[in-house]
Structure 1
Amino acid sequence: MDKTTQDHVERITSDPGDVPQKHIGIDEELRKYVVAADNVQVDEVTSKRLRHMINKRVLIVMVGTYFLQSLDKNAISYAAIMGIQKDANLQGQDYSWLHTVIYFGILFAEYPTNIIVQKVPIAKYLAANIFLWGLTLTMTCFGFNFAILAALRVLLGIFEAVSQPTFLLLSSMWYRREEQAHIVTYWFGMNGVQGICGGLFAYGMSHVHSPVLKSWQFLFILLGSITCVWSMFVMWWMPDSPMRAKCFSESDRVLMIERVRANQTGIQNRSFKKAHLIEALRDPQVWLYVLIQIIIQIPTGGLGSFSTILIKNFGFTELQTELLSMVNGGVQCFVLLTSAWLSRRFSQTVIFQLVFLMPNIAGTAVLMAVPISHSTRVGLLIGYWCTLSFWGTTTLLMSLLSRNVAGQTKKSISTASLFFAWAVGNMIGPQVFQSKDAPRYFTCFSVHMGCYGVLIILLLTLRWHLKRQNSIKDALQEQDWSANAMNLDNAFDDLTDRENLSFRYHY
């Protein structure tokens, strides 16, 4: 284990030969690989080789898919400055509602999706949903009124709901705990990359003129078609699980499973356990994740939806706005990669969530205090870029849940709850931007300031709670040698983080 991981994650060592290998509660498909791996050791050189193989088959799919999801979901923002509001006769809060209704679809699909991905081949289910959302996006070219656009956005949300919970599951299934913050950042960081590419893409599309199709129609047709083609690649390229990865040798599959044994979070279990559901509902850790996620997404959801409109309101032209949105993406990428690196380097997650919250407060203060004029537009733009540091807080929260919740049923419920909260926050976010408050949106930024204050309290509470749980487990293990001896033998036995006394929380 890396030295940087040892500060907050302690493993109790014992001689594996002293403890019976019972593997109680283990998934049957997984069992033969776990038994084969019981006496296998994975050295660092082998681990790097395996990680490289996994990256080529799994990480590339997560990164590419999330890039397209972010691009497709935000295509409506680029269409807004191409004239869709006028062509579809959008009035008042109609545009805000188009950003909100997609999350109705996500809310509807989130819990069923999290249950389904535990029971079906993940790669096939993911590919099917990607194809359907690509088809839905293509059909958006027919959206010449609010009702059609809203219905298509709801469908888009239903199909896109698969991505984030599936990727968190894949991250914990294939990667070590100390790697997961970076892995989550790589695919979640595609929000920033799509900002760069999307701005350039929209800039090019805005120059397309046709007597038959509007530029925003070309945008939806092209993006939807690309997504449909990508779904076919996902179906062909990505394995469903380490056990079913026929692209790898049998011996490498055994090594890949052994490689993640120390996670203590398991890989797969298709049985639904009521006791684990009850534990998830009673665990303060899960509720804190949910509350933090809602509070985080209210500002980020609104700022993401109104980014192009805000920049244009500062006094920039349509083409300048499209190009400056590329810088937005660059700032997001920098924040996401930096936050993940700092978290791993110093073995501190919640502390750096708080650190990356500070520029948001400063940037929001600038947007509230500085009047809009030609001479202040650059300063306002910099203030807006400061608010993008919030992305570091978001991605670190997802990596916390991925590393800190064990037991497949509990993880499924917790992940669904996290993204249910994500959808709720993103539904509220655009509605905070009221058209009557344009172009300053003073009320909106006041709400954002309140969110930052609440978030500081919640993050400090989460850190205290996780640290306290580790102390309680340390005390229990000192009293009970048999708990000490458990070590990694029960790592795949579908124990929850609370049931497994060898489990330690990251904070």
Structure 2
Amino acid sequence: MVTTYFLQAIDKGTMSFASIMGIIPDAGLVGQDYQWLTTCIYITILIVEYPQNYIISRVPVAKYLSFMIVTWGAVLACTAACHNFTGLVIVRTLLGLFESACQPAFVVLSAMWYRREEQASRVTYWYMMNGAQQVVGGLLAYCFSLITSGPLKSWQWLFLVYGVISVVYGLFVGWWMPDSPMRAKCFTEEDKHLMVERVRSNQTGIQNRKFKKEQVWEGLTDPQTWGYALIQLCTTLPTSGLGSFQGIIIKSFGFTTLQTQLLAMVLGFYIIMVLLGSVWIVKRTNQNLLTMLGFVVPSFIGTICLMTVSPTGMAQKVGLLICYYITLSFWSAQTLALSMMSRNIAGQTKKAVVVATNFIIWSTGNAIGPQVFLTWDGPHYRIAWSTHLGCYSLLVIVVIGLRFYLTGQNKKRDALAAAGVQEAKDDKLVHAFEDLTDKENPNFRYVY
């Protein structure tokens, strides 16, 4: 999962590095054309997310993931052949279609293989590849930028090489990765049984292919669904804009193209530190939502400084660069919300609905993000920064509301257990694999 997500992140991030390698003039991009090359990916994800989750819940997950990796690699390689806006929109749209399977599949796999207390760190491990791709991608983009002659431009080599690597890796995933613990050839039958039993305490099941209409309604009416979805909206809207315009923003501080490619690596290290730091705090305190709130504070500070300070000298340039880095601190909320969703939502049909809804809102935020960076508002982009501040404010409200809701639900169930209701205090977890939802199972307790 870590390697797959790294490839997806670096493949998706190629456009950000290519933006200062000549793709904009070479493809004749004008006005908001560049912004739409990111937005079209997430509009596609928005459309296909429900059918994608329906398929994932009913097919061998690893084989399906392998097919999608191969196809997105092929599409990425074809980007090197595009010379106008139309061609780029087509390949970027197809890239969104095939990459849309990755994160939903990982949420399912995390719940299938790992216990609840392990899932926060596992989700963080694969999600922090967003930072790793900044480090590796920045270094490789620097190397590709040194190509100044030959049949292909530097940005074309970037897309072609990354695409070929993804195709080869996708074939490897199909051969190597098991679809579930029960199908893992490296385990004996006894080990497979133990692998399943160790996740009984999750009370979220393994994989059930029966569609249950009542779980669809519960998923759509559960306040948790919309709480996690709003967290994604409030974090992805700033993320996609900051990611797409990373090179342009850093270069606007007064750095050269090559310096900008290398400085992107520092941002990657910072993102990794934020994600690892947040999961370490969660492990020590068991406080997911309060940890989210703590990591939003630097985002407020960094964004306000970017709005108010101009790069008039070297000190200001370095200060603005640091402010840009710390603005990404809110990313921990996105990761922790995903891990909470995999731990707090039970019932396979309900989980598919909640995950699909979550990633539809996730893609909505990602689609809007680049559009708030208006070309005529550059290089200061005050409208974008103001929008981001609004997102952080809404994020704080949603996190506080979700905490009140989850603690209230746990108190109700504790009261039932104290009153002698056996189903609310079942130490043997006899209903763990009965595909009950978290609301149907009074023995279920939420993490917050």
Deviation (angstroms), 1:480: 4.1
Is 1:500 matched with 2:441? yes
Residue of structure 2 equivalent to 1:403: 343
Residue in structure 2 matching 1:263, options 186, 191, 202: 202
- Name the CA distance, whole Å, in 2 between partners of 1:178 and 1:348: 12
- Name the CA distance, whole Å, in 1 between partners of 2:9 and 2:360: 17
AA at the equivalent of 1:70: A
Deviation (angstroms), 1:105: 1.7
Residue of structure 1 equivalent to 2:397: 457
Residue of structure 2 equivalent to 1:37: none
AA at the equivalent of 2:270: V
AA at the equivalent of 2:206: I
AA at the equivalent of 1:428: I
Is residue 315–residue 373 contact of structure 1 (8 Å, CA) maintained in 2? no
Is residue 231–residue 334 contact of structure 2 (8 Å, CA) maintained in 1? no
Residue in structure 1 matching 2:377, options 425, 431, 437: 437
* Aligned-residue identity in percent: 54
- Name the CA distance, whole Å, in 2 between partners of 1:258 and 1:165: 23
Residue of structure 1 equivalent to 2:281: 342
Q: TM-score, normalized by length of structure 1? A: 0.87
Residue of structure 2 equivalent to 1:385: 325
Alignment of 1:173-188 (within 5 A): 173-188=112-127
Consecutive aligned runs of 4 or more in structure 1 exceeding 6 Å deviation: none
AA at the equivalent of 2:283: R
- Name the CA distance, whole Å, in 1 between partners of 2:227 and 2:366: 18
Residue of structure 1 equivalent to 2:261: 322
Any gaps of 5 or more consecutive residues in structure 2? none
Q: How big is the alpha-carbon RMSD for the aligned residues of Structure 1 and Structure 2?
A: 0.9
Residue in structure 1 matching 2:29, options 90, 103, 113: 90
Alignment of 1:41-52 (within 5 A): none
Deviation (angstroms), 1:301: 1.4
Deviation (angstroms), 1:479: 2.9
Larger radius of gyration: 1
AA at the equivalent of 2:379: P
Residue in structure 1 matching 2:135, options 196, 200, 205: 196
Q: TM-score, normalized by length of structure 2? A: 0.98
Is residue 202–residue 219 contact of structure 1 (8 Å, CA) maintained in 2? yes
Residue in structure 1 matching 2:110, options 167, 171, 179: 171
Residue of structure 2 equivalent to 1:69: 8
Residue of structure 2 equivalent to 1:491: 432
Residue of structure 2 equivalent to 1:365: 304
Alignment coverage as a number of residue pairs: 446
Secondary structure (helix, strand or coil) at the match of 1:389 reads: helix
- Name the CA distance, whole Å, in 2 between partners of 1:497 and 1:154: 36
Residue of structure 2 equivalent to 1:15: none
Write out per-residue CA displacement over residues 108-142 of structure 1, whole angstroms, 9 at most, x where no aligned residue. Answer: 22111111111111111000000000000000001
Residue in structure 2 matching 1:474, options 386, 403, 414: 414
Secondary structure (helix, strand or coil) at the match of 2:306 reads: helix
AA at the equivalent of 1:377: K
Secondary structure (helix, strand or coil) at the match of 1:486 reads: coil
Write out per-residue CA displacement over residues 10-41 of structure 1, whole angstroms, 9 at most, x where no aligned residue. Answer: xxxxxxxxxxxxxxxxxxxxxxxxxxxxxxxx
Residue of structure 2 equivalent to 1:274: 213
Is residue 231–residue 333 contact of structure 2 (8 Å, CA) maintained in 1? no
Deviation (angstroms), 1:193: 0.3
- Name the CA distance, whole Å, in 2 between partners of 1:442 and 1:274: 46
AA at the equivalent of 1:322: Q
AA at the equivalent of 2:22: G
Is residue 413–residue 424 contact of structure 2 (8 Å, CA) maintained in 1? no
Deviation (angstroms), 1:286: 0.7
- Name the CA distance, whole Å, in 2 between partners of 1:235 and 1:455: 38
AA at the equivalent of 1:421: I
Is residue 315–residue 374 contact of structure 1 (8 Å, CA) maintained in 2? no
Residue in structure 1 matching 2:83, options 144, 148, 151: 144
Is residue 239–residue 247 contact of structure 1 (8 Å, CA) maintained in 2? no
Is residue 278–residue 332 contact of structure 2 (8 Å, CA) maintained in 1? yes
